[in-house]
Amino acid sequence: MIELRDATVVVDSPDGPVTLLHPTSLELGEHRIGVIGANGSGKSTLARLLNGLALPAAGQVLVDGLDVDADGRQVRRRVGFVFTHPDAQLVMPTPLEDVTLSLRRTIPDKSERRRRAREVLDAIGLGHRADVPVHSLSGGQKQLLALAGVLATEPEVVVADEPTTLLDLRNTRAVADRLFGLRQQLVLVTHDLGLARRCDRVLVVDAARVVFDGPADEAVDHYVALAEHADV
Distance CA 48, CA 81 (A): 8
Over 80: is that where the pLDDT of 113 sits?
Answer: yes
Number of domains in the chain: 1
User: In this predicted structure, what is the pLDDT of residue 165?
Assistant: 86
CA-to-CA separations, 200 to 71, 107, 206, in angstroms, rounded: 28, 34, 20
Domain enclosing residue 33, as ranges: 2-231
| Distance from chain centroid for Cα 82 | 5
Average model confidence (pLDDT) for the chain?
Answer: 93
DSSP structure class, residue 190: -
CB within 8 A of 211, min separation 6: which ones? Answer: 204, 205, 222, 226
DSSP structure class, residue 70: T
> Helices marked H in 125-197 — which ranges?
139-151, 169-180, 193-196
More confident call, 231 vs 196: 196
| Residue type (1 letter), 188 | L
Interval 110-123 mean pLDDT = 93
pLDDT digits (tens, 9 = 90+) for 137-162: 998 899 999 999 999 989 999 999 99
Distance CA 112, CA 195 (A): 36
Radius of gyration of the chain (CA): 18
User: In this predicted structure, what is the pLDDT of residue 7?
Assistant: 97
Question: Phi/psi at 106 (nearest 5 deg)?
Answer: -105, -25
Over 80: is that where the pLDDT of 129 sits?
Answer: yes
Distance CA 99, CA 147 (A): 10
Distance CA 127, CA 125 (A): 6
CATH of the domain at 42: 3.40.50.300
Interval 94-123 mean pLDDT = 92
Which of 11, 17, 24, 20 has the alpha carbon at shortest distance from 59?
24
| Residue type (1 letter), 176 | A
User: In this predicted structure, what is the pLDDT of residue 167?
Assistant: 85
User: In this predicted structure, what is the pLDDT of residue 231?
Assistant: 58
More confident call, 21 vs 172: 21
Q: What percent of the chain has pLDDT over 70?
A: 99
Q: Which DSSP string corresponds to 83-131?
A: -SSGGGT--SSSHHHHHHHHTTTT---HHHHHHHHHHHHHHHT-GGGTT
User: In this predicted structure, what is the pLDDT of residue 210?
Assistant: 97
Q: Can you give the length of the chain in residues?
A: 232
Per DSSP, the three-state class of 57 is coil
Distance CA 75, CA 81 (A): 11
6: left (phi over 0), alpha (psi -120 to 50) or beta: left
